[in-house]
Homo-oligomer: A and B are copies of this chain.
Amino acid sequence: MESLEYYIKEYFGVLKQDELKVVCDKFKAQILPKGAFLMRQGQPAHQLSFIKSGMVRLYTQDDGKEITQWISTPGYFVTEISSFMFGGSSRWNMQALTDVDLFSIDRTDYQKILKEVPQWHEFEKLFIIKCFTILENRVYNHLSKSAEERYQDFFKQNPSLFNQVPLQYIASMLGMSPETFSRIRNKQLS
């Protein structure tokens, strides 16, 4: 649980120690084997999870082809926020790429946080603004950069991911075919 406390402090700002405990206690440890689904496209997102170890892939499957939206790694939170907050159905699948250790909270418990930590809305707000800003940069990358530049930028920021997950998923997430990814990769190595 220590890691969760650490990251909640990091992402959500400085809570009082007792508040931090209130929040963390609502998260429950959860273990999922490789291949298991945390969430299914078209169904409601009933939980928010913090990844303690392992990796989770967010992807959509539309008329056959799969698009990997994101790969979540230890130390990050993961959910389909629109569905989790407003109800409605999730736009993507969330599947464990490896065995995964999580701390998860369901919608009901999540809503109880507010009763005990009045500032919670503010923390959420600040957290989501940061996420929003990162996404804006991601859009910018697609407007201004070639596949090769997107590869390089992402590799610089996440070198370790490249030997932990199937590269085709990283390719998809960066908006290129596996073949293009492979060729760029080859060029970089030599």
Copies in the complex: 2
Q: How would you classify the secondary structure of chain A's contact residues: helix, strand, loop or mixed?
A: helix
Residues on A close to B: CB < 8 A?
60, 62, 65, 67-69, 81-82, 85-86, 91, 121-122, 124-126, 128-133, 135-140, 142-144, 172-173, 175
Docked pose: A144 CA to B59 CA in angstroms = 11
Docked pose: A133 CA to B143 CA in angstroms = 19
A-B contact pairs, 28 of them (CB 8 A): A60-B140, A60-B144, A62-B144, A65-B144, A67-B140, A67-B143, A67-B144, A69-B136, A69-B140, A82-B129, A82-B130, A82-B132, A82-B136, A85-B126, A86-B129, A91-B140, A121-B121, A121-B125, A124-B125, A125-B128, A128-B129, A128-B132, A131-B132, A132-B135, A138-B139, A142-B142, A143-B172, A143-B173
